[in-house]
Structure 1
Amino acid sequence: MAALQQAALDLRSFPQGIRNCYSINIMQGTKYLIRGTFFYGNYDGLSKLPQFDLHLGVNKWDTVKIENVSVGVIKELIHVPSQNYLQVCLVNTGLGMPFISAIELRPLNNKTYVTISGSLALFSRYDLGSLSRTVYRYPVDVYDRIWYPHFANEWKSLNTTLTIDSQSNNYYQPASIVMGTAVTPINVTAPLDMYWDSESATSEYYIYMHFAEVEQLKPNQSRSINITLNGNYWWSISSPLYLYTTTVCSQSALEIAQTYNFKLFKTEDSTLPPIINAIEIFLVRNLSQPGTNKQDVDAITNIKSTYELKRNWEGDPCLPQPYSWAGLHCSYDSINPPRITSLDLSDNSLTGSIPKFLSQLQYLRILNLERNQLTGSVPADLIERSNNGTLLLRQVAVKVLSLSSVQGYQQFQAEVKLLMRVHRRNLTTLVGYCYEGTSMGLVYEYMANGDLEAHLSGKNSNILGWEARLNIAMEAARGLEYLHNGCKPPIIHRDVKTTNILLNENFNAKLADFGLSKIFPTDGTHVSMLSVAGTLGYLDPEYSISYGLTEKSNVYGFGVVLLEIITSRPAIERSYENTHISQ
């Protein structure tokens, strides 16, 4: 197909993601011809004809269905964008990998192809009367419309080699070479008959007929035309002008019908049969659903570009709902554009300062920045919204360390390195850390019910029942088991005690404080230490004597914890000299 030859040389396919989009800057308010070309050509060697959806912004434009390996598909739309950009999106519907050969945009005169509402999807565009198989487009057509030749057996072709000009008030400007041919019925008393079946029971159509007289009529000759649609009068053309184009078009969408049958008759006073040179038929596409609020789109786009997020964030953030961006939640109603209400940016390796443009998300209620390496303070506007309850900033626990302590610095480094590589439901989560100048701090998830020791000692008013104590013991044991068997290489905690077992709002237990932890070599039986570290009462006696650290050291400390859980007695009774619960 000649019109496809250039566009069919290359294509781009999209094996990843459900929706993939091209964002194109344009002039807001300008009418555009937008064309997508799809030439499969068995590029993947699979000989499987794909089918997928084509969207313009948040609205479905059409379905691309490839029906022949060597025959391309063209989707064309006339549209006035409401923004200074537009997004052409390919959506994987599970029927084959989306691809595209070309996207083309051509600005049109805003006085052409006027509709009461909606955009226009091309149904057909024909160069009538051409006896060649030539397909015409730019440069012969100033708007790069693609004109396909069309002819019927009951027609006769008329033509001229002279230039056909458009009248000064005809903004459509169909190509002169297209208007240089016309059709007329072989039977001079018969009408020109053209019809098509509707795509669906609700489809609406606009039609554009282009006329130009290509024969220089004699004084006693005349050509006037009456046009009917499904048997009813529709329009009249009184003497098409010689070598000048006149366009007749729908002022509104045609009345919905199952079949559209146009007949062109010569009028009673006409001596010559009717003619027509070219015709365009369009389907109405309602592409008016607004996208996400522009301020929110600008803010989230800034976030995406600033941090170079490697997420499949394509197209509109919130719409269509099945394709909304991962990590976002939006508000939806039938009147207003969606707003972003929740943003989860955790685990994205973000660095640098927390961006001030986050505050542009005015409807944001939940913001999660966990497990990144962001620095600086939270923007003041977000803090204010958190204080007045309109934004949920997750509560965290902060452990501040002294830089003057060499041991504290070493433990700080050890804990950061360890918690950056291990993640488990029974281990406390490191949200972030601070190491700026003289400030060192660890930021953990907040554990609402504090540590286990407070509940066993009576410092806390909550009394733990036996079922709760058993669950806490099991969850702490799972945390240890993960350190010993789930981590490669294994990790020895070295400070298992009740104050390092934290409880969340549901009394789920998590191991905490990994500052003394050591990585256990997989090819050894123990770790030789230069000194003993831990808490009196929980230290493994063998470790204390031999300085040989093994996984059993954790088990010993956990055994002491179990005794505390059962008896509600501390590991060491401070009121008695040299008394130990394990003695």
Structure 2
Amino acid sequence: MKKLGEEQSQRSGSSCTRRKVEAGYALLKVDQKGSLTSSKQEFTYSEILRITNNFERVIGEGGFGAVYHGYVGDSQVAVKMLSPSAVQGHQQYLAEVNLLIGVHHKNLTKLIGHCNDGTNTGLIYEYMANGNLKAHISDHSPFILKWEVRLQIALDAAQGLEYLHYGCKPPIIHRDVKLTNILLKENLRAKISDFGLSKIFSTDSSTISHISTVVAGTPGYLDPEYTKSNRLNEKSDVYSFGVVLLEIITGRSAIDKSQNNIHVSEWVTSSLENGDINSIVDPRLHGIFEINSAWKAVELAINCVSSKLSQRPTMSQVVSELKECLDKGPAWTKGSRHIELTETRPLYSITESSPSAR
């Protein structure tokens, strides 16, 4: 693929890389850690074709279109193209662009740019090398995430939601928190993605406690209170996150179709009567986890999915509790990536940095 032309510019003693794209000029920067940042430029369809090498590699399929791998300069990106027939998808595309232009957090996927060229619509994101969390929690995964790694992923996602609820003015409710909307970097650190259903509170949010809206989201993760009343608030995200945390802990799906569609929260509540944490935590871990950490994580998750909004914690409280869960767990080595073997399959370890893949 032909590389985009580039030239160096200096501003206030720091350097940035300016990559020239034929039909427009996208100002892209590489930060001190080598991560791609952007002024969120609009790309033409011909540029998208070059970025993806004519849509050569599909890396995902969504409800409204496919996701392709590509390069902007030397940096990998993910390009989500919208199917022309997806009318609802176009509305979500506009919502996502408008929202992501104003949010910046290490635990939210970074929007590099977008395309709205005739019938061709797409979003360009930073590339998340390890895909979505569901693929790693699934029983079909050839690897097993270590207990501490699971907690760190949960904490990363919680911090992203905390920022949406309390770091954004006005606050933002994600409305579709689930395993497939938590993406993992090369080093297994997590970011929240897919903001197409997100809702923004009134600028005078201090005077309101909820938004009345048509129910939208994913079965199994939807807050029952929201589905009954059509009243949406930040505790709806807390419920969805609680379901995700239960899935992370147990390795089970939100709804188990093999067991009469039992919800994971019902299964865990029933299992708690036995008082045996080993029967709740993902059996593929073979008991390799810290007992107190596991109990605290389960208690937190159950509180998150409480039927009463008042009993659910805030995302700030969730972040604090998850940090305590990690403190209760054994320390693990930070450094070069390695894989430890169990009796059956390897468990991922977490790293602070790893070599870039290309």
The interval holding the TM-score normalised by the smaller chain is 0.5 to 0.7
Is it true that 1:370 corresponds to 2:38 in the alignment? yes
User: 2:201, 2:21 → 1: CA distance?
Assistant: 31
Task: Provide structure 1 residue ranges, at least 5 long, that are not aligned to the other structure.
Answer: 1-297, 305-310, 314-324, 329-342, 357-365, 385-390
> 2:249 aligns to what?
566
- Once the 2 structures are TM-superposed, how far is the Cα of residue 372 of structure 1 from its aligned partner? 3.1
Aligned counterpart for 1:579 among listed residues 249, 262, 265: 262
1:19-418 paired onto structure 2 within 5 Å: 300=7, 312=11, 326-328=14-16, 343=17, 353-354=23-24, 370-376=38-44, 377=46, 393-418=74-99
- Once the 2 structures are TM-superposed, how far is the Cα of residue 541 of structure 1 from its aligned partner? 0.3
Q: 1:543 to 1:493 in 2, by over 3 A?
A: same
> 2:279 aligns to what?
none
- Once the 2 structures are TM-superposed, how far is the Cα of residue 579 of structure 1 from its aligned partner? 1.7
> 1:256 aligns to what?
none
User: 2:163, 2:50 → 1: CA distance?
Assistant: 41
Structure whose residues are more often strand by fraction: 1
Matched to 2:23, the amino acid is S
> 1:362 aligns to what?
none
- Once the 2 structures are TM-superposed, how far is the Cα of residue 382 of structure 1 from its aligned partner? 10
Question: Alpha-carbon deviations, 1:60-93, whole Å to 9, x = none?
Answer: xxxxxxxxxxxxxxxxxxxxxxxxxxxxxxxxxx
Q: Contact 1:453–1:498 (CA<8 Å) still a contact in 2?
A: yes
Matched to 1:528, the amino acid is S
1:486-525 paired onto structure 2 within 5 Å: 486-521=167-202, 522=205, 523-525=207-209
Give the TM-score of the pair, scaled to structure 2: 0.59
Q: 1:299 to 1:409 in 2, by over 3 A?
A: closer
1:536-547 paired onto structure 2 within 5 Å: 536-547=219-230
Identity of aligned residues (%): 54
User: 2:236, 2:212 → 1: CA distance?
Assistant: 13
> 1:420 aligns to what?
101
**SS of structure 2 residue aligned to 1:535:** coil
- Larger deviation, residues 469-478 vs 453-462: 453-462
Q: Contact 1:493–1:517 (CA<8 Å) still a contact in 2?
A: yes
Matched to 1:557, the amino acid is S
Q: Which has the higher contact order (CA 8 A, sep 6+)?
A: 2
Aligned counterpart for 1:440 among listed residues 117, 121, 134: 121
User: 2:251, 2:48 → 1: CA distance?
Assistant: 45
For the pair shown, which has the larger CA radius of gyration, 1 or 2?
A: 1
User: 2:146, 2:219 → 1: CA distance?
Assistant: 27
- Once the 2 structures are TM-superposed, how far is the Cα of residue 393 of structure 1 from its aligned partner? 1.8
User: 1:375, 1:432 → 2: CA distance?
Assistant: 7
User: 1:480, 1:375 → 2: CA distance?
Assistant: 29
Matched to 2:262, the amino acid is T
- Once the 2 structures are TM-superposed, how far is the Cα of residue 403 of structure 1 from its aligned partner? 3.2
> 1:45 aligns to what?
none
User: 2:188, 2:211 → 1: CA distance?
Assistant: 34
Q: 1:381 to 1:425 in 2, by over 3 A?
A: closer
User: 2:49, 2:197 → 1: CA distance?
Assistant: 37
Matched to 1:500, the amino acid is N
- Once the 2 structures are TM-superposed, how far is the Cα of residue 416 of structure 1 from its aligned partner? 0.3
> 1:455 aligns to what?
136
User: 1:518, 1:392 → 2: CA distance?
Assistant: 33
Q: 1:564 to 1:354 in 2, by over 3 A?
A: same
User: 1:355, 1:540 → 2: CA distance?
Assistant: 44
Q: 1:528 to 1:456 in 2, by over 3 A?
A: same
User: 2:125, 2:222 → 1: CA distance?
Assistant: 26
**SS of structure 2 residue aligned to 1:397:** strand
Q: Contact 2:42–2:116 (CA<8 Å) still a contact in 1?
A: no
> 2:149 aligns to what?
468
User: 2:74, 2:166 → 1: CA distance?
Assistant: 35
- Once the 2 structures are TM-superposed, how far is the Cα of residue 458 of structure 1 from its aligned partner? 3.0
- Once the 2 structures are TM-superposed, how far is the Cα of residue 573 of structure 1 from its aligned partner? 1.2
Is it true that 1:534 corresponds to 2:217 in the alignment? yes
Question: Alpha-carbon deviations, 1:501-542, whole Å to 9, x = none?
Answer: 00000100100000000002212110001x210000000000
User: 1:402, 1:505 → 2: CA distance?
Assistant: 29
- Once the 2 structures are TM-superposed, how far is the Cα of residue 402 of structure 1 from its aligned partner? 2.2
- Once the 2 structures are TM-superposed, how far is the Cα of residue 582 of structure 1 from its aligned partner? 1.8
Question: Alpha-carbon deviations, 1:349-391, whole Å to 9, x = none?
Answer: x9982469xxxxxxxxx9967343142345999999xxxxxx9
Q: 1:526 to 1:299 in 2, by over 3 A?
A: closer
Q: Report the aligned-residue RMSD.
A: 3.3
**SS of structure 2 residue aligned to 1:423:** coil
Matched to 1:525, the amino acid is S
Which stretches of structure 1, 4 residues or more, deviate above 4 A after TM superposition? 366-369, 377-384
Task: Provide structure 2 residue ranges, at least 5 long, that are not aligned to the other structure.
Answer: 27-33, 54-71, 267-358
Question: Alpha-carbon deviations, 1:463-491, whole Å to 9, x = none?
Answer: 10001001001111101110111001100
**SS of structure 1 residue aligned to 2:113:** strand
Q: 1:443 to 1:555 in 2, by over 3 A?
A: same
- Once the 2 structures are TM-superposed, how far is the Cα of residue 423 of structure 1 from its aligned partner? 0.6
- Once the 2 structures are TM-superposed, how far is the Cα of residue 408 of structure 1 from its aligned partner? 0.7
